[in-house]
Structure 1
Amino acid sequence: MTIFLIAFITKTATPFLRFNTTATPKPLVIVTPVNVSQIQDVVICSKKHGLQIRVRSGGHDFEGLSYVSIVPFVLVDLINLRMINVDVENSNAWVEAGATLGEVYYSIAEKSKTLAFPAGVSPTVGVGGHFSGGGSGMILRKFGLAADHITDAVLVDVEGRIHDRKSMGEDLFWAIRGGGGNTFGIVVAWKLNLVPVPPIVTGFNVSRTLEQNATKLVYRWQFVSNKLHEDIFTRIFLRKVESSQRGKTTIQAAFTTLFLGEVDRLLSLMQESFPELGLVKEDCIEMSWIESVLYFAGFPSNTSLDALLDRTPISDVFFKTKSDYVKEPLPEIALEGIWERMDQLEVQISELQFTAYGGKMDEISESSLPFPHRAGIIFQIEYAVLWEEESSEASQRYISWIRRLLDYMTPYVSKNPRQVYVNYRDLDLGINNLDGNTSYKQASIWGRKYFKKNFDRLVRVKTAVDPANFFRHEQSIPPLSSW
C-alpha cells in the first residue's frame, strides 16, 4: 500500500494564498486515484495506520479544510476523476466528484442549448465540495439548490465499501447533499437532474454610486428582491471605488440580474416591481444560458466556451469571507454604517454580496436537505476582505476588520441561531478537537448556525455510518459517541 501511495504523489497547487505559505501544514502524501478501487485502498490503508484524510475536488474550501490540517494527513486529490456523462433524452447527467462546475456546464452545453444545472457561478469550483454544502447559483430562485437536483450518488464508506443511493439508504443520501464534505465518506460521483432553460436569457449589470442614490436603491431592493418573478435572479455587489470627486472614494452598488427569458419581458417585470432602478433596454444583454455562465463569471464578451475548462483559479490575493442571512430589511442607517466601515483606510479591498432568495427557495422545507435556509430569507450576505500584504500582522489586521463588521451587523441579521452558509466556511464559529473527542455541545455551536435543527439528524447519521469519527476535520459532524 505504501508503494501505491508513493506512486501517485503529485504536486498540486492550493488555490488560496492564505493557505499557501511556508508555514502551511503539508500532507504526508498526496494520492490522485484514477478509479474507485484506489479510493477504497486509500481509506483502508489510512484507517489502518491512524492517518486522517482530506479530500480535494476543486480545493475551494474557504478555510482550506480540503487540503490543510494540523495533524498528519493524507490528501486524496480527485483531479483524475472528472468523467461527465450527459443524457439529454432523460435530462440527467452522471458527474464524477473531481469535475469542476465549468466542466459540467461545458458538457451540458455540448449536448443541449436548453438544459442547465442550478449550481454556482465560479467555473473552477469543484463539484464535490459544492454539492456537499448544498450549492447555490444564478437560478436558485427558479430551481433551488444544486443539491435539490441530485438523484443518486456513489460513495466509499469508512470500511472501504462502495454504495449507491439504494445501498447507502435515504438518511445517508440526505446527509451528503448539504451536510458538508469529508464527513460521511468519500463521494465519488453524483447523478444530476438537469433543468430546462429557454433558448434566450437576459442579463444586466447596472451600477449606482452613493452620489447616484445607491443607498435608497439598495434599501428599496430589499422590499422587492425576494418577491420578484421566480425567473429573475438578482444580486447586489457592494464595493469601494474612486469617486467622481478627485482624491475621494465612494461606495458602488452593482445590481446584477439574470432573467430566464427575453429582454422585453424583463423590462416589463422590472418596471412593475423596481422602477426606481431606471433599467433601460440598452442596459441588457440577450444571450444563451451557457453564454450567461461566462458573462456572470466575469469573462470578456466573445470568450470561447473553452474558458470553462480552465481549472486554474485566481489566487493572487489573500482573503477572508463570512456570511449572514437577512429576514428583515436593513434600515437605511444600517446601510450607511456598512458604507462607513467599507470606506475605512485600513482596508485595501472589501466587497459584500446581497443575494436575493424567495421563489422556489420559499417552497422547499428547511428539513428537506441539511441546508435549512429557505422560507423567510430575504437575502444572503457574503462579506469578503482581500489584501496583498504577506505578513501575519497584515492578515490579522484585515481579518479583525471583517470580524468587527460582522459584530456591527448582529442586530440586523438572523438570530437564534444566527444562520450561516456552510459553503462559506468560517472557523471563527468554532472548531472540533482534532486529536480527541469533540462534544456534541461544542460542535453544536457552529453546527446549528450552518444547519439549524438539521444538525441533530446529521449527528445521528454520522453515528450510524462512522461511529469512530474517522472522516473528520475542524468542522465535520461528530458522532454521538463524542458527546
Structure 2
Amino acid sequence: MENILVFCLLLLSVSVATSQSVIDSATFLRCIVRQGLNPPDQTSEVTYIPTNSSFATVLRRRIPNLRFDKPTTPKPLAVVTVKNWSQIGTALACSRELSVQVRIRSGGHDFEGLSYTSTVPFFVIDMFSFRSIDVNLTEGTAWVDSGATIGELYYRIAEKTNVFGFPAGLTPTLGVGGHFSGGGYGTMMRKYGLSVDNVVGSGIIDSNGNIYTDRVSMGEDLFWAIRGGGAASFGIVLGYRIRLVPVPERVTVFTVGKTVGEGALDLIMKWQSFAPSTDRNMFVKLSLKIVNGTKPGEKTVLASFTGIYLGGSSKTLNVMNRDFPELKLKRTDCTEMRWIDSVLFWAGYPIGTPTSVLLDTAVANKLFMKRKSDYVKRAISRTDLDLILKKLVQVEKVEMNWNPYGGRMGEITSSRTPFPHRAGNLFNIEYLIDWSEAGDAVEKDYLSRAREMHGFMTPYVSSNPREAYLNYRDLDIGSGGNSTTYEGGKVYGAIYFKDNFERLVNIKSIYDEINFWRNEQSIPVRK
C-alpha cells in the first residue's frame, strides 16, 4: 500500500509539473505559427520570445520605470509587435486557446508596470507599430493611433498649423492609448478640459478579434467607458479621433522659484485661491521640492510657479499683476513662443530646442519611481501649509506637483466621462519620488517615504472616498490580483471613478462578461 501511495504521489507531481510547463514560450510560439501570424523561424519581427536575441531590447524599449525592469521581474512568454489590426485578432486567438493572459502596451508609462508585467503566464501586445497620425485641418480633427506618443501627435499638428493644438500631457513619450483612456491632464485643461473631453471617436478590438472602427459600431456605452475608464479593461483601442483646439500664434511661459526663506509660504497660500480662479487662459503649476538651504547641511523647500498663458507677455503680466501680484512676475521672467515650443518647455527642454526631438520615442532617463495622487477641495490654512513644508523636509526625496483646477474643469459634469474629478476641486496633487540606486532595501526606503508623505496629507485632501487619478496608477490603494472580483474592484474603483464605477461595471459585464481583459486594477464584471 505504501509503494502504491508513493507511486500515485509521483504520478501527481509529474502531472502538475507537466501542466505547469505546457504554457511556455515555445508552446505560445507554436500557436502563433499555427495561426499564421509568424513564420516557423524565431527571428520574426512580429513575435519575440526569450530565445530571440532582440527579445530584451523589444521588451525594455518602453519600460521607463526601473522598478519593473529587474532580473526578478516576471517576463512575458512573448512580446507580439503587431503590424496590422488582423494580427491582433490572431494573437488573441492564442490567448484564448492557451488561457494565457494578455497585457497591452502603448507608451509603457503605467507607473505600476501593469501593461507589461503579470504574476501569471502572459504575453504583451505592443502597439509600437501603430503610430499613424492624420491631421485634418478642414474638419479641425485628427486620427491618432494608440501606439503613437503625444510628442509625435504634437509634432504632426504643428507641421500643419501654428494655431491649433491639443490638451494632453507633459511627457512626450506618453503613449496615446493609455494616456487618453485614463483622462489626460495637460496645461490647457483649464481652457479646454482633459484629453478625453476632446475625443470624438475611437476604434476598438474585443476579445474575439472583432473590430469596431467607430463609436457607432461599438456603441455609446463602450465609447463612454474607454474615455477615462481605462480602455485595457474593455479591449484594445486602435486609436482616437480627436478635436483640435485653437491656440494663439504666440503663448507665454514663465517660471519663478522661491524658497521658504524667500517667502514661499505666503505665495503658496495665495496660489491656492489664485490658480483655480484666474483667467482660464492661464495655467500655473506649483512644484515643491527639497533643496539646500543657506546654512551648511540645512534643507528647505523650493516652491516653483511654472505657468503658461495662451496669449502674449503683455496680457500675461496684466493678469498676473491683477490676480497674483505677490509673485512679482517681471517681463524678463516671460518668454513668448509658439504653442509647440511651449510643449518642449514643459517637457524640460532648453528654450530653442528643435521640435524634432518630439519624434524620439525612446525614454531618455530611466529611473526607479513611484507616484501617488490626491485631490484638494478646501484651501489649506497657512498653519497647515507650514506643517506640510516641514514634513517634506523631514521625509526628504518626495516632490509634489499641484495642478490647478477651475475654468473648464469645473463646468463638465462628473458623469460625462468615467473621469469623475470635476467641480469642487481646487487642485490635484501628484506625489513623485525617483531614485537611481538599485536594491530591495533602497526601494523599500523610498516607497516608505512616499507613503509617509501621502499619509501625512490625509487631513487636507478628499475623503469618503479619498480620490485618486487613474493615470497616476497606485497599487497601494487596492489590487484585485489576477481575478479582479467585483468586491475587490469596488475598493479602488470608488477611489478612481467614484459614482461612475457602477456604470463601468455594467458596461464591462455586457461587453466582456468572461472578464478576459483584466489586470490588478481593471474594471470587474458583476457576479
TM-score (norm: length of structure 2): 0.89
Point out which structure has higher relative CO (alpha carbons under 8 A, 6+ apart): 1
d(CA) in 1 for partners of 2:434, 2:245:
35
d(CA) in 2 for partners of 1:134, 1:343:
32
Match of 2:75 among 14, 21, 26: 26
Query: Counterpart of 1:300?
Result: 350
| Residue identity matched to 2:376 | V
d(CA) in 2 for partners of 1:128, 1:371:
16
d(CA) in 2 for partners of 1:64, 1:241:
30
Query: Counterpart of 1:42?
Result: 91
d(CA) in 2 for partners of 1:226, 1:457:
29
The reply to whether residue 12 of structure 1 matches residue 59 of structure 2 is yes
**Displacement of 1:246 after TM fit?**
3.5
Partner deviation per Cα, 1:354-400 (whole Å, 9 max, x = no partner): 00001000110000000001101100000011222211111111111
Query: Counterpart of 2:299?
Result: 249
- Which residues in structure 2 correspond to 1:306-385 (within 5 Å)? 306-344=356-394, 347=396, 349-385=397-433
Q: Is the 8 A contact 2:398 2:453 kept in 1?
A: no
d(CA) in 2 for partners of 1:86, 1:477:
32
Which secondary structure does the structure 2 equivalent of 1:323 belong to? strand
The reply to whether residue 448 of structure 1 matches residue 494 of structure 2 is yes
| Residue identity matched to 2:32 | T
Does 201-210 or 385-394 show the bigger shift? 385-394
Q: Is the 8 A contact 1:225 1:234 kept in 2?
A: yes
Which secondary structure does the structure 2 equivalent of 1:227 belong to? coil
- Which residues in structure 2 correspond to 1:65-104 (within 5 Å)? 65-104=114-153
Which secondary structure does the structure 1 equivalent of 2:495 belong to? helix
d(CA) in 1 for partners of 2:290, 2:197:
35
Query: Counterpart of 1:478?
Result: 524
| Residue identity matched to 1:300 | P
Query: Counterpart of 1:193?
Result: 243
Q: Is the 8 A contact 2:167 2:193 kept in 1?
A: yes
Query: Counterpart of 1:268?
Result: 318
d(CA) in 2 for partners of 1:268, 1:300:
26
Q: Is the 8 A contact 1:17 1:315 kept in 2?
A: no
Q: Is the 8 A contact 1:16 1:315 kept in 2?
A: no
Unaligned runs of 5+ in 1: none
Does 289-298 or 41-50 show the bigger shift? 41-50
Partner deviation per Cα, 1:131-162 (whole Å, 9 max, x = no partner): 01011101000000001111111100121100
Unaligned runs of 5+ in 2: 1-30, 49-54
Computing the radius of gyration from Cα coordinates, the structure with the larger value is 2
Which secondary structure does the structure 2 equivalent of 1:339 belong to? helix
Q: Is the 8 A contact 1:30 1:75 kept in 2?
A: yes
| Residue identity matched to 1:299 | Y
Which secondary structure does the structure 1 equivalent of 2:216 belong to? helix
Partner deviation per Cα, 1:148-192 (whole Å, 9 max, x = no partner): 111111100121100121011000000000001311000011101
Q: Is the 8 A contact 1:158 1:465 kept in 2?
A: no
Partner deviation per Cα, 1:278-321 (whole Å, 9 max, x = no partner): 11111111001001001111001211111101111134421111
Partner deviation per Cα, 1:338-363 (whole Å, 9 max, x = no partner): 2223223x64x321000000100011
- Which residues in structure 2 correspond to 1:73-222 (within 5 Å)? 73-163=122-212, 164-222=214-272
d(CA) in 2 for partners of 1:220, 1:58:
37
- Number of aligned positions between the proteins: 477
> Which segments of structure 1 move beyond 4 Å, counting only runs of 4 or more?
none
| Residue identity matched to 1:406 | H
d(CA) in 1 for partners of 2:210, 2:516:
14
Match of 1:223 among 267, 273, 290: 273
Which secondary structure does the structure 2 equivalent of 1:475 belong to? coil
Does 398-407 or 361-370 show the bigger shift? 398-407
TM-score (norm: length of structure 1): 0.97
The reply to whether residue 55 of structure 1 matches residue 104 of structure 2 is yes
d(CA) in 2 for partners of 1:32, 1:411:
46
| Residue identity matched to 1:421 | Y
The reply to whether residue 461 of structure 1 matches residue 501 of structure 2 is no
| Residue identity matched to 1:248 | E
| Residue identity matched to 1:303 | T
d(CA) in 2 for partners of 1:449, 1:419:
5
Which secondary structure does the structure 1 equivalent of 2:344 belong to? helix
